[in-house]
Amino acid sequence: MSEHNDTHIAELRREYMRGGLRRKDLTEEPMALFELWLKQACNAGLSDPTAMCVATVDEHGQPYQRIVLLKHFDSRSLVFYTNLGSRKAKQLAQNNRISLHFPWYPLERQVSFLGKAERLSPLEVVKYFHSRPRDSQIAAWASEQSSRISARSMLEGKFLEMKQKFQNGEVPLPSFWGGFRVEFDSVEFWQGGANRLHDRFLYLREGDEWRIDRLAP
């Protein structure tokens, strides 16, 4: 890489001017504010407003990140689905500590969750699986997620094979497909501010209550 390119990147910056976040704007528990921010992200027309970065750690302490879609949330947890043979699922089986991050950049907002992931019951999984578009159900059978493949044609061929196999009737739930419920104990809300004086508030669970602290940017 050239020194010129490094200099150009270093000079990229902008001001955050969309507004601040004050204690009076906060809710007693974090998911009421999260629900409001998510609704505003949807109404703003953001692409994939439910997309979140999922961070896990392998047996050597190496972190991994990837984007998945949030499919459900309530006052104590968030839910996503995945192939149970995937890298993330295998890592969560060894260490179920997890981080979820929502990067709503156009709104100059971020939300981060820390918690523990637990496998969903088969009943919860099958209900969601059959709500997916049929081709998405078939694609779950076609992809051995995170495994090495020699060419895309192999994946496409497997998809057509599964489509033929399940052309009549309901697509069954693969035994290797499931989901995780993340029960969180920490939620941070970040709102961009002028002059890099961003607003950050951290919710920490203390029993059945939430402690709220402002963090320096």
Active site amino acids: 196
> Is 204 annotated for ligand binding?
no
> Is 202 annotated for ligand binding?
no
> Is 12 annotated for ligand binding?
no
> Is 197 annotated for ligand binding?
yes
> Is 68 annotated for ligand binding?
yes
> Is 82 annotated for ligand binding?
yes
DSSP character string of 58-116: -TTS-EEEEEEE--EE-SSEEEEEEETTSHHHHHHHH--EEEEEEEEGGGTEEEEEEEE
> Is 128 annotated for ligand binding?
yes
> Is 37 annotated for ligand binding?
no
The token duo for 108 is 């100059």
C-beta of residue 37 within 8 angstroms of C-beta of residue 104 = yes
Name the residue type at position 74.
D
Q: CA 138, CA 172: separation in Å to the nearest integer?
A: 9
What residues form the annotated binding site? 13-16, 66-71, 81-82, 87-88, 110, 128, 132, 136, 145-146, 190, 196-198, 200
Annotated binding site for FMN: 66-71, 81-82, 87-88, 110, 145-146, 190, 200
- Residue ranges for the known binding site for substrate are 13-16, 71, 128, 132, 136, 196-198
